[in-house]
Structure 1
Amino acid sequence: MKVDLHFHTVLSKDGSIPPVPATARLIKRRGLDGVAITDHDATANVARLSRLLAAEGLVAIPGEEVRVDNGPEILCYFLNERIPPGSLGSVLDAIHDQDAVAVLSHPFDYIRGNWMHLFTHERSKELAALLHHVHGLEGFNARNYSPGGNGLALRYARGLHLVATGGSDAHWAGEIGLAWTGVDASSTRLDDLAAAFKAKRVAPCAVEALAAVPLPGYKARRCVAGCAKKIASGLSSALPPFKRWLSARAAMHGNR
């Protein structure tokens, strides 16, 4: 199952995607099986867009991208209600209370809120405490413009035995599906999807959709192909068959 796990609507102050039937149809045309609706500190569009996606036979994961004090953000999935921004402790407590899934957003993107400050020897105890309460890292964010940022996230997720996810971080329609996550769930029910996350039966991919998008110039196309090969080679040696299949798909599309 292909799910874009980072998706914003007009409810996010920098988003432009409306919760209308045309959006649901576009998500389906992009070859996705669903999206996680992750507006900034808001969930008001989850119910409406979920109904529209269901009408197209698509999955909608109720979520939110919550800002914590001092800038970093956490992607929250399978929420029952909105989590307000606040201290790291209060946000983690709220996630735990809802038995939700927590993923650190674009952890190594130095342009936006990130988690780089904790990935140091001096703050290793703080990092260990944080990782005890989260399920994974956003391994591939299609809006991550920091050189090597996605690669670092993938390596840390693998080394720390955490889930690695992929998402477009779409703020406008053209970005939908530029990255996605393969989810090996027994059904499309939300509880089965959540169980797949917690059992680490997920893997990120960002190349199938990216390779199909016209990119300006040879260097951009070569970069996408190179990313495909790096992701495939970095993941295939250590991942189970389901994830190796995703990696092979990435390599195939990167060579187009």
Structure 2
Amino acid sequence: MFALDLHAHTRFFHGRERAAALFDPLGVRLLELGARYRGLDGVALTNHDYYHPFVGRVVKTIPGIEISTTKGHVLVVGPDPPTRTEPGTLTPKETVALAHERGCAAIVAHPYRNSTVREVDADFDAIEINGKHPRTEEWARELAESYDLPLVGGSDAHYPVEVGRAYTMVDADVLTPESVVSAIRDGRVEPRVERGTFDQLVRRGYQKVHEGKDNLHRPAEESPGVGEPPKPED
């Protein structure tokens, strides 16, 4: 068994593309240190709409990308993710097809935050419990059960201290991109959520942010899709 954070970012700030790209190598090393401190065996590098290969030095790094589809975000994790995608152009079905063509798993990311991906009839491989707001865990479990899909965990870390707030136990003999994809598709994965004092303090901050944006919604509410928060009721 391996402990793996399936959703993490090397880029701790957005915009200023050139400066951010220069920061990526340092971001990877900081992620690794955070993952090792948390006792993880590896971390998937799932930056928004681009992938750059970095070899882990202290923990295993798994290739990945977080694709901004027309309906929300999808994690593509495996040996050969696309290197770059244009935000808001690929549909969820097109994203899943692209992932499978490249030997990767397609995972619904944070299904109850600014997303309607969960409503799309596509051949996803798993659904994520997101470390930023584990109060949606029960909803994600019900969603996964309704689609008969496995659950995975990912921190959605944008800063090193966030790594491992949620992670995935992967039942495999060796930790490789291929073995991770195989375990996800076979259901040999189990999400874990850390609920220590520090994790709770960080999450409270995120909860305030998301409540302010009004983009975290309950299953009974209608989500508008990526990029636009729900409009208040009249």
User: What TM-score results when the alignment is normalised by the length of structure 1?
Assistant: 0.66
Aligned to 1:157: 144
Q: Trace 1:127-142 onto structure 2 (pairs within 5 A).
A: 127=120, 129-130=121-122, 133-138=123-128, 140-142=129-131
Structure 1 position 97, deviation (Å): 1.4
Please, what is the CA RMSD of the aligned residues?
Answer: 2.6
| 1:197 match | 184
1:214: how far off?
Answer: 6.3
| Cross-structure match for 1:75 | 75
* Distance change >3 Å, CA 108–CA 100, structure 1 → 2: same
- Structure 2 residue aligned with 1:168: 155
- Once the two structures are overlaid, the 10-residue window that deviates more, 165-174 or 91-100, is 91-100
Distance between the aligned counterparts of 2:185 and 2:153, measured in 1? 16
CA distance in 2, matches of 1:3, 1:31: 10
Shift in Å, 1:150: 2.4
1:169 counterpart SS class: coil
Secondary structure of the residue aligned to 2:143 is: helix
Relative distance call for 1:68 and 1:77 in structure 2 (3 A) is same
Alignment of 1:1-256 (within 5 A): 1-10=2-11, 13=14, 18-44=26-52, 47-48=53-54, 51=55, 53=56, 55-56=57-58, 58-69=59-70, 71-80=71-80, 81-82=82-83, 84-85=85-86, 86-88=89-91, 89-109=93-113, 112-115=114-117, 118=119, 127=120, 129-130=121-122, 133-138=123-128, 140-144=129-133, 148-207=135-194, 210-211=195-196, 213=198, 215-216=200-201
Q: CA deviation at 1:144?
A: 2.7
Gaps of 5+ in 1: 119-126, 221-256
Cα deviation digits, residues 191-213 of structure 1 (max 9, x gap): 22221111110010112xx3152
Shift of 1:142: 1.4
Q: Residue 169 of structure 2 contacts residue 189 of structure 2 at CA under 8 Å; is this kept in 1?
A: yes
CA contact (8 A) 2:62 2:77 kept: yes
- After superposition, the Cα gap between the structure-2 partners of 1:115 and 1:91, relative to the gap in structure 1 and judged at 3 Å, is closer
Cα pair 1:106 1:114 within 8 Å, conserved = no
- Could you list the per-position Cα deviations for residues 214-250 of structure 1 after superposition, in whole angstroms to 9, with x for gaps in the alignment? 645xxx7xxxxxxxxxxxxxxxxxxxxxxxxxxxxxx
Deviation at 1:9, TM superposition (A): 1.2
Greater RCO, CA 8 A, separation 6+: 2
Q: Which has the higher helix share?
A: 1
Q: Per-residue CA shift, 1:47-95, capped at 9, x if unaligned?
A: 22xx2x2x22x221100100112x4110111041325142314323311
Question: Could you tell me the TM-score, scaled by structure 2's length?
Answer: 0.72
Higher mean alpha-carbon deviation, 8-17 vs 96-105, is at 8-17
In structure 1, what is the Cα distance between the partners aligned to 2:126 and 2:149?
Answer: 5
1:35 aligned counterpart, secondary structure: strand
What SS does structure 1 have at the residue aligned with 2:173?
coil
Looking at structure 2, the residues matched to 214 and 91 of structure 1 have their Cα atoms a distance apart, in angstroms, of: 32
Opposite residue 37 of structure 1, the aligned amino acid is L
Aligned residues: 191
Q: Give 5+ residue unaligned stretches, structure 2.
A: 205-234
Distance 1:165 1:101 in 2: 11
Secondary structure, counterpart of 1:213 in structure 2: helix
- What is the alpha-carbon distance in structure 2 between the residues aligned to residue 134 and residue 214 of structure 1? 29
